Amino acid sequence: MISRLSFRGCNCYLIESEGKRYLVDTGTPGNLKRAREQIDSIDGIIITHGHYDHCGSAVEIADHFSCKIYAHRDEHPYLEGKADFKFEGFVGNFIKRLERLRPMEHFRAHDVESLNLNIVHLPGHTPGSIGIVVGKEMLCGDLLRVGRKYIMAGETVVKPSSRNFNWNQEKYIESLKRFAQLDVEVIHPGHGESVRIDRSLINEIIKRLER
């Protein structure tokens, strides 16, 4: 079961599997009040990747619910402040400054692959980006974004993550290819609406990126 929550910064979700409840991503700092209003209890927090807008409230929410934070082991150094993400371009430099505002003291991440969930490692956007497959649905973090063809107008479109925000573009494309092989019909992205998706669309995105 997947439920979308109303947090600031990114789409955050509550998933229930085999009697356990996990919060997936926590948005920007300051979402504890929203978490208390929408969640009674959780067994853990899963971070799809360590960017500011996805993990900014992880520590305070974990402290409140007395639970652990889980992420892919390749993401732990970034979450715990032992390594920095490299961003490119003007927007990337702005995001880099925002990253410094994220509270990292007391941030202790545990290996997400220790959980009894279908976790898919999808490096590229960051070293430890993951997707979580529930049935034929996937919480895909920032592997893909969903928006409008034009600003605030036009048809809904599925877009790749911006190269300026990706840690490694080649690995990102490899992860898109891996995703295209999965039996997934619906994606729940970190930004934008949940949508049905098919392999041909992903293959078209891959072709555009490889030109």
pTM above threshold 0.85: yes
- Ordered structural domains, the chain, with CATH: 2-210 (3.60.15.10)
| Structure confidence by residue, pLDDT tens digits, 118-176 | 999 999 999 999 999 999 999 999 999 998 765 555 577 899 998 888 999 999 999 99
| Structure confidence by residue, pLDDT tens digits, 181-199 | 999 999 999 999 999 998 9
Written as one string, the DSSP assignment of the chain is -EEEE--SSS-EEEEEETTEEEEE--BSTT-HHHHHHH-S--SEEE-S---HHHHTTHHHHHHHHT-EEEE-GGGHHHHTTSS-----HHHHHHHHHHHTTS--TT--EEEGGGSSSEEEE-TTSSTT-EEEEETTEEEEETSEEEEEEETTEEEEEEEEPPGGG-S-HHHHHHHHHHHHTS---EEEESSS--EE--HHHHHHHHHHHH-
| Structure confidence by residue, pLDDT tens digits, 57-101 | 999 999 999 999 999 999 999 888 777 766 555 445 555 555 555
